[in-house]
């Protein structure tokens, strides 16, 4: 089964990949209304990173950092700015 996220190369910088994932998610109907809503998600993901690190769950922390980068890319998308140039 093909995913909507297939074909986004891992060679891209993380924030560029996050923006591309965000655009694809939006096209699939998964999107936030505005940057403030996304910032709430960023805070949630940061708390999950902190909790995983505090409990020594390194692999989970790495996954949560990826989620946080995806959310940060969406903040930039909502603000119509290019994350990698900030």
What's the pLDDT at 39?
87
pTM for the whole structure: 0.67
* Terminal C-alpha separation, the chain: 36
Q: How far apart are CA 60 and CA 74, in angstroms?
A: 21
Please state the domain count of the chain: 1
Torsion sign across C-alpha atoms 55, 41, 21, 86: negative
- Domain boundaries, position 43: 34-85
Structural domain contains residue 16: no
Structural domain contains residue 38: yes
> Per residue in 68-86, pLDDT tens?
887 887 777 777 766 566 5
34 near 80, Cβ under 8 Å? no
Structural domain contains residue 28: no
């Amino acid at each position: 089964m093909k995913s909507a996220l297939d074909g986004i190369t891992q060679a891209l910088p993380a924030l560029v990949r996050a923006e591309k994932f965000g655009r694809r998610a939006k096209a699939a109907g998964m999107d936030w209304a505005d940057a403030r809503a996304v910032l709430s998600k960023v805070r949630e993901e940061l708390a999950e990173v902190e909790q995983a690190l505090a409990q020594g769950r390194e692999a989970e922390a790495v996954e949560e950092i990826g989620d946080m980068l995806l959310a940060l890319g969406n903040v930039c998308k909502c603000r119509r700015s290019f994350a990698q140039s900030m």
